[in-house]
């Protein structure tokens, strides 16, 4: 946790002026062009994911099958050579559609409860993504890559916690602890993965499809957790309102 606190402390101490913005000069024009392709591809993946969620709402296709199909498309994508860009892009879009369908039941629940929660969760995720990705770009190169080891350890802990709750059962408080910890972890990955992509691009790795997939995974992971938190808060507010009406 000290690493996360040091990240926020360093951001608060930095002066966001012209001198800070000049840090963009450390990113070469080739890397800047690569980042534009990455974020454009990410936007296409998010649109494809929204289409997948829409398909679930219409035909109720989301579930284990679409989750396995998503994993299969990602594995297939990694097995295709980088020079086959069109095929890899198509596989990325397919995996995004399957991912959207897999998240579809949660989105459908949010629409039934309060559609504004869904919009707020997406906007909040987009703002967090823009802020943390921007912070990673403005920071010194490799400044936050050391967080990768800590985040990997946290992911391992999350897997063990989920495994334990599956076998022994878990309370709502335990589930929410997993959600909040996962949110913190994947927000951290937004920073680390952005800097990692920049560093790899400087070293000649310009695989924009693979890099967009990495950021897409981070975005969806944060969005799902923010949506769950907001749905829980909305449900608690509704419950308090009902109790208040009964007492009146």
Nearest-angstrom CA–CA distance, 190 and 129: 7
Closest CA to 149 of 199, 196, 204, 183: 196
Total Cβ atoms within 10 A of residue 112: 8
Contacts of 51 (CB under 8 A, 6+ apart): 97, 100
pLDDT tens string 67-93: 999 999 999 999 999 999 999 999 999
Residue 104's pLDDT band (cuts 50, 70, 90): very high
Calculate the average pLDDT of the chain. Answer: 87
Give the residue-averaged pLDDT of 99-111.
96
- pLDDT of 235 strictly over 60: yes
What is the predicted pLDDT for the residue at 233? Answer: 92
Residue 9's pLDDT band (cuts 50, 70, 90): very low
Weakest-pLDDT range from 129-133, 192-196, 203-207, 234-238 = 234-238
Total Cβ atoms within 10 A of residue 38: 25
Task: Say if CB 194 and CB 136 are below 8 A apart.
Answer: yes
Q: Which residue has the higher pLDDT, 165 or 109?
A: 109
pLDDT tens string 186-225: 999 999 999 999 999 999 999 999 999 999 999 999 999 9
Residue 36's pLDDT band (cuts 50, 70, 90): very high
Nearest-angstrom CA–CA distance, 43 and 22: 26
């Amino acid at each position: 946790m000290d690493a996360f606190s040091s990240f926020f402390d360093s951001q608060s101490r930095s002066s966001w002026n012209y001198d800070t913005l000049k840090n963009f000069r450390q990113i070469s024009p080739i890397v800047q062009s690569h980042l534009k392709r990455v974020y454009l591809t990410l936007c296409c993946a998010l649109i494809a994911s929204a289409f997948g969620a829409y398909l679930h709402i219409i035909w109720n296709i989301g579930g284990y099958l679409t989750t396995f199909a998503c994993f299969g498309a990602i594995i297939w994508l990694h097995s295709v050579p980088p020079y086959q860009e069109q095929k890899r892009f198509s596989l990325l879009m397919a995996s995004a559609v399957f991912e959207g369908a897999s998240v579809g039941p949660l989105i459908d629940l949010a629409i039934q409860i309060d559609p504004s929660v869904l919009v707020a969760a997406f906007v909040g995720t987009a703002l967090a993504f823009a802020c943390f990705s921007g912070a990673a770009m403005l920071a010194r190169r490799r400044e936050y890559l050391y967080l990768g080891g800590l985040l990997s350890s946290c992911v391992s802990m999350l897997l063990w916690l989920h495994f334990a709750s599956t076998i022994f059962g878990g309370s709502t408080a335990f589930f929410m602890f997993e959600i909040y910890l996962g949110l913190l972890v994947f927000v951290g990955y937004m920073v680390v993965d952005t800097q990692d992509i920049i560093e790899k691009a400087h070293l000649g790795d310009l695989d924009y499809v693979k890099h967009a997939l990495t950021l897409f995974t981070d975005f969806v992971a944060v969005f799902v957790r923010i949506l769950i938190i907001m749905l829980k808060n909305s449900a608690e507010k509704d419950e308090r309102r009902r109790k208040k009406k009964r007492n009146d």
